[in-house]
A and B are shown apart, each in its own frame.
Chain A
Amino acid sequence: MKQLLILSGKGGTGKTTIASAFIRLSKAKAYADCDVDAPNLHLITEQSSEPRKTDYYGLPNAEINPVLCIKCDLCRQNCRFDSISVEADKKYKVDPFACEGCGVCEAVCPADAVTLKPAVSGELMLFANEREVFSTAQLKMGSGNSGKLVTEVKKQMKTEAVNTEFAIIDGSPGIGCPVIASISGVDMVLVVAEPSISGISDMERIINTAAKFGTKTVVCINKYDTNIDNTEKIEQFCKKQRLPFMGRIPFDPNAVKAINNVQTIVDIDCASGAAVKAVYNKTMKLLFEKSVG
């Protein structure tokens, strides 16, 4: 399976808008949303069936049994995450958001009152029918270990769509664990850059991250006309780094309209849609050309 990952570094550059257009254009039979902190792809790719849902377990949480607890205070003193507190009624309580499940309290408790309980920290969803497979997930509020959930999202898609030759993955913003987990194993990364100083700084960081994995990286610019000078800077940067440049997409109020009507930008006749088509053709050519070698 050839996998194309769409990334941005900075949030809000139009990653999901472009991913949804690519899915429509390629009639992709398999796609996934790896932005598990703030998944959006499901909003625009209308699904006819109910998803298959699976609980996702992250780090466990400590739980204190009030009957066994002898109030020795050792757990509170030894917790490095300040997650144990004494309530007004002298009961010991664990803050599930602060607890990292390290098990120190369990080990130190002389009364065996502490146990580590698996905690649901998100939900995996799989939409599958004869036509296509769509894998996505939502991390629960206040959870942090999303790298593993991203891996699960990709695994779920691959297991279900075994004989599919092409898949599109919408990545997550940033450069941290979830992004590294999204990059792992893909054939090409398309970076959606934005012509702003912040956007350029974040784009460089994401390109460095992808380079560490030796993954082929190509770049396109969204909303290029909001700052032509910065657009040219990005293009020069690509030239210098020998990163294939896939094209410019203009700012287009019609894009907002389309999204709000649950349409992709290639479903309507608009400037951004036409530009995305050109970017798509160039990207696909490069992706499949390279596969021969």
Chain B
Amino acid sequence: MRIAVLSGKGGTGKTLISVNLAAVAKTSIYIDCDVEEPNGHLFFKPGNIQEEEVSVLIPKVDEKLCSGCRKCVDFCKFNALAYIKDKLIIFEEVCHSCGGCIMLCPKKALTEKEKVIGKVQKGTSDNVTVNTGILNTGEASGIHIIKKLLNNNTEIDKQTFIDCPPGSACIVMESIKDADYCVLAAEPTMFGVHNLNMVYELVRLFKKPLGVVLNKCLEEENPAEKFCFEKNIKVLSRIPFDNELGILNSNAEIAVRKSEKYRAMFSSLLATVIKEVHHETASDSQR
């Protein structure tokens, strides 16, 4: 069972929710797909870390074969190639690895080589297998790292929690593609509603079942709750704004491992999510 946790903007509690859900489950897999700013490992502090590099294929030139026809330079939509003083220059970080230049070269002067863009780490923290993707700074896209993370963890019988990148860009789509259920984290502000709507639309586009966790709830009226009511979205849980939880979380402690109160809170959220997933599968088979 794969559960993706996402939010339209950062700081709504995506990592708080996914880390604590994974920690409260009996045995689980946690996958941090926020490869630009992976924070989950700061909480889990996993041991027994195994690392694997992630590479993409980029072109390299054999200068002896290159005739200077510039077909590759003209073709490249990303402007990753330049031909200066009878020499081809390749800008590796601009390359999108489409392979077009290699395919088109009439002299077969271009071949491919691997270039490392980041890594994936696997470690354990008590009951949780912690997976982290890390994009090297200066690299443009973490999509290959996310693919690797998800392909490395395909045991469907295990409870898997995916901590998605913020926003609604292509990397978020990649992260939720194979999810069975999406948990959306929302803040009780007008900003929160605006961004909730964005991810809500995204998840609907993929026809994934979803529910919302209202985080940082205050006494006042909650515009995010109103939004859920209007759109008929299931509210899975309300996490109050709470100093104790805030301190634990800001010190990168896992709340459910520190306090019975929060263990009970996230256990109940997990139970609700599992029930929803089963409910969805049941209604799916009826269709």
Task: Give the B-binding residues of A (Cβ under 8 A).
Answer: 9-13, 16, 37-38, 40, 43-44, 59-60, 78, 80-81, 97-98, 100-104, 107-108, 116, 139, 141-144, 146, 173-177, 194-199, 201-202, 205, 226-227, 229-230, 253, 256-257, 259-260, 262
Contacts and interface: CB of A to CB of B under 8 A. Distances in A.
Contact of B37 (A9, A103, A257): A9
Contacts of B98: 80-81, 100, 102-104
Nearest to A144: B170
Contacts of A37: 166-169
Given A107-B104, A173-B10, A230-B250, A80 B190 contact: no
Nearest to A98: B170
Contacts of B221: 260
Contacts of B166: 11, 37-38, 173
A142 B9 CA distance: 15
B191 A16 contact: yes
19 contacts: A12-B187, A38-B168, A38-B198, A100-B98, A103-B75, A141-B198, A141-B205, A142-B173, A144-B170, A197-B250, A198-B15, A201-B39, A205-B137, A226-B246, A226-B247, A227-B251, A253-B220, A257-B220, A260-B223
A144 B39 CA distance: 22
Given A97-B173, A142-B168, A103 B194 contact: no
Interface residues of B, number: 54
Interface in B51-100: 75, 77-78, 96-100
Interface string B125-144: 00000000000010011000
Contacts of B11: 10-13, 194
A84 B281 CA distance: 29
Contacts of A103: 75, 77, 98, 100
B202 interface: yes
A9 B39 CA distance: 12
A139 B198 CA distance: 11
Contacts of B103: 78, 104, 107-108
Nearest to B191: A40
Contact of A142 (B75, B140, B169, B241): B169
B264 interface: no
B100 A12 contact: no
